[in-house]
């Protein structure tokens, strides 16, 4: 059964990757920004793997919480 997690922040580890053009870095930054929000996965390990696969580069950090009323998803 899938669980819902809210990704609050995600950072890419670009230290070991060389030869990235500005366009590629801009695309990675765009995906980092869009990765925040609700993700539906089977477990927490799958969350890390799914986000990393979406970003396309290794992750430096990933902060998340279980789905609940949250500033990123709540409406006033």
What would the pLDDT profile of 33-67 be if each residue is shown by its tens digit?
Answer: 999 999 999 999 999 999 999 999 999 999 999 87
pTM of the predicted structure, to 2 decimals: 0.84
Give residues with Cβ within 8 angstroms of 7, minimum separation 6: 35, 36, 37, 38, 39, 47, 51, 62, 63, 64
Radius of gyration of the chain (CA): 13
Residue 72, Cβ neighbours under 10 Å: how many? 11
Give the residue from 68, 72, 69 showing the smallest Cα distance to 10.
72
State both tokens at 34: 């869009």
């Amino acid at each position: 059964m899938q669980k819902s997690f809210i990704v609050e922040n995600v950072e890419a580890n670009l230290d070991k990757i060389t030869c990235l053009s500005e366009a590629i870095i801009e695309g990675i930054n765009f995906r980092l920004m869009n990765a925040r929000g609700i993700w539906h996965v089977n477990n927490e390990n799958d969350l890390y793997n799914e986000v990393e696969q979406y970003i396309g580069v290794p992750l430096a950090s990933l902060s998340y919480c279980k789905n609940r009323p949250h500033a990123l998803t709540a409406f006033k």
